[in-house]
Structure 1
Amino acid sequence: MVVKLFSPYTIKGVTFKNRIVMSPMCMYSSYTEDGYVQNWHRTHYTTRAVGQVGLIIVEATAVTPQGRISPQDLGIWSDEHVEGLQELVGLMKEHGSKTGIQLAHAGRKAVIGGEILAPSAIAFNDKSKTPKEMTITEIKETVEAFKKGAERAAKAGFDVIELHGAHGYLLNQFLSPLSNKRDDEYGGTAENRYRLLREVIDAVKEVWNGPLFVRVSAHDYHEEGLTPQDYITIAKWMKEQNVDLLDVSSGAVVPAQINVFPGYQVKYSETIKNGANVATGAVGLITSAIQAEEILQNDRADLVLLARELLRDPYWPRTAAKELGVNIETPKQYERGWND
């Protein structure tokens, strides 16, 4: 039997050497509050490339200053950000990893000074700031900001762009009826609530020809919210727009109690993959190689994304290869330690 975890995967001419993906995780480490890459990012991401991760997706990177989750977020709203991101890409590629970046806008979940924006003037919870309902002009400006972010990502040399449409951030806020109470062309029906994401995808594709992923929260965990069945329809719309892969997570558009267990979100990836006939990535408390291999062998996802496990073990691909009895490429400098 072929071990799928360590088989290559190609999208639009970009080949990942294995199916292991580092999930985007905010580091909140742009300490100067200007969105620039810092030494922490250089060390953090490059270490996982040395560890032989196939694709590394850089954390949620804000397309506007107002769209930051926190003042310490990475940014891509200015041409001045390109140089640092380009250096970061080079460091990762030096060790054989493909590179991605998650373009994001926090919407009502931004924890920054000043005005914050959302589809509707509804706070996330009773401790959060009430956002301003976006005007049509502000929506158009945001679409343009995503487009400019994609242009800068291309200049920086990234192989993949992922749009952050999950975890209760702006694109997710528009999709969900729990956070979008608009009565114009961006609210009401499912098609209208999808309109912003549709426009962002179209705008990004004007300047980006590489693999395009979208991260989604496939379940709102609320009786009036979206479910994986709803996301089959949404996934079909994205497929029509030539989105290459859906990175399937869940939750966080509203506060909710979630029954969390190893691989608890994999069933959502499987549902969407089979229901819409699209490529998906599975994420969520995936820790062992056998668990990851089961997901791939049973066609529940095409890629496996790891988050916290790669924080604990930056060389997890080696750990996984030993567990599955596979020999993988070893950094020359580490041969004495890796091949024992």
Structure 2
Amino acid sequence: MSKLFSPVSLRGLTLRNRTVVAPMCQYSAQDGFANDWHFVHLGRFALGGFGLVMLEATGVVPEGRISYADLGLWKDEQIAPLARIVDFLHGQGAAAGIQLAHAGRKASTPLPWRNGFDETEAEKTALHFESWTPVAPSAEIHAENKNFTTPTALDKAGIRNVIDAFVAAAIRAEKAGFDTIEIHAAHGYLLNQFLSPLANKRTDDYGGSRENRMRLVLEVTEAVRAVWPAHKPLLVRLSASDWHPEGWQIEDSVVLARELKARGVDAIDTSSGGFEGAAIPLGAGYQVPFAEAIREGADIPTMAVGLLGDAAEAEAIIESGRADFIALARGALDDPNWPVHARHELGVTDYDLWPKQTNRVRERDRSLGLRAFTR
């Protein structure tokens, strides 16, 4: 039996398999509200057999969005359209998760398919365009000449507001029916900015030593765990390494993961990078060693992510104990039915993971001698 496609539990949540759709920004919201694009985009992954479908980075405050077109969960009115998505995912057998995020100094950036802020006045009105001055641990720009803005350094009151915003968003996520939430502390966004000496130049209790730089992530985690139901798992996404000699390293992530586990975190979504000057050796499974190191060093379940998609390799990663979950982002966009396809590749002959409405696939395979009907 495939271990990748065996059920697995975190606290009171049982997933039908260990495949996950990683959070992917769609830059398609207005005023933070989910719409039909998000419903269809996410729903197809549940139809495709994924065990857990994670919603994109969702701003806990308006100024915490990467762009003006990101999802948000800073007001109660944003709950209902998210609940509609959650209900559909549940109806198709998938669990629903949401990534709560604050972009920090990487906020208020253009949509990736535009040429900077080139919206016409008519488009700005239609798209609910906004721009603003971001906040960060220190008043240092992320990168020059790349559509980033020099941020304002957060004071202690601003830091308290960030913590409170994560808590309020977690409460709203529970009202929307999500099975899990993921605190985004990766990819050079606000919590990662506090962790990394590349961005954090503070000299108070939130800067300097590794212990101080970890303080905000741990305070957010404690506060969220306190309001998130005890039977529901809490995830954290980390950039395990900045891929920069002067930045955050895998050894730091192991220490942080231990502290997160002690505060009630159930799994680490293990990514990497996010700052200028990184030297990232891209390739299939290039982040798996980080998931393995954190899993072993902190004794906590991990999620492998990043250029994965080969079914046999994914099975081997799980079977060998290098990670506990396989997450796809771009691979899921390319093939929203990856789990049902991969399951057949791994030798499972039934069609139980396919939705009932797709029985015609089985009949096609019978007619052509494919998959379970190979002659």
TM-score (norm 2): 0.88
The count of corresponding residues between Structure 1 and Structure 2 is 337
Structure 1 counterpart of 2:353:
329
Q: Tell me which moved more, 139-148 or 225-234.
A: 225-234
Give the Cα separation in 2 of the matches to 1:307 and 1:83: 25
- C-alpha contact (below 8 Å) 1:161/1:212 kept by paired residues: yes
Render the CA deviation track for 1:64-87: whole Å, top value 9, x for unaligned. 000000000000000110011111
- C-alpha contact (below 8 Å) 2:98/2:178 kept by paired residues: yes
Render the CA deviation track for 1:202-243: whole Å, top value 9, x for unaligned. 111121021000000011111111111111111111111110
Other structure's SS at 1:47 match: helix
RMSD: 1.0
- C-alpha contact (below 8 Å) 2:108/2:133 kept by paired residues: no
Structure 2 counterpart of 1:77:
74
- C-alpha contact (below 8 Å) 2:340/2:353 kept by paired residues: no
Counterpart code for 1:29: S
Other structure's SS at 1:282 match: strand
Question: 1:3 offset after TM fit, Å?
Answer: 1.1
Question: 1:125 offset after TM fit, Å?
Answer: 0.6
Structure 2 counterpart of 1:211:
233
Structure 2 counterpart of 1:123:
141
Give the Cα separation in 1 of the matches to 2:321 and 2:291: 10
Other structure's SS at 1:28 match: coil
Give the Cα separation in 1 of the matches to 2:362 and 2:252: 45
If you compute each CA radius of gyration, which structure gives the higher value, 1 or 2?
2
Give the Cα separation in 1 of the matches to 2:104 and 2:280: 23
Structure 1 counterpart of 2:103:
106
Counterpart code for 1:117: V
Give the Cα separation in 1 of the matches to 2:72 and 2:85: 13
Q: Tell me which moved more, 324-333 or 42-51.
A: 324-333
Q: Tell me which moved more, 155-164 or 196-205.
A: 196-205
Counterpart code for 1:132: T
Written as runs of structure 1 = structure 2, the 5 A alignment for 1:1-340 is 2-30=1-29, 32=30, 34-111=31-108, 113-127=131-145, 128-209=148-229, 210-326=232-348, 327=350, 328-338=352-362, 340=365
Q: Name structure 1 gaps, 5 residues minimum.
A: none
Give the Cα separation in 2 of the matches to 1:338 and 1:18: 21
Give the Cα separation in 1 of the matches to 2:269 and 2:302: 6
Counterpart code for 1:101: I
Counterpart code for 1:25: M
- C-alpha contact (below 8 Å) 1:213/1:245 kept by paired residues: yes
Q: Tell me which moved more, 252-261 or 273-282.
A: 252-261
Question: 1:250 offset after TM fit, Å?
Answer: 0.2
- C-alpha contact (below 8 Å) 1:64/1:145 kept by paired residues: yes
Counterpart code for 2:358: Y
- C-alpha contact (below 8 Å) 1:54/1:98 kept by paired residues: yes
- C-alpha contact (below 8 Å) 1:21/1:306 kept by paired residues: yes
CA separation of 1:115 and 1:317: change in aligned 2, threshold 3 A: same
- C-alpha contact (below 8 Å) 2:193/2:200 kept by paired residues: yes
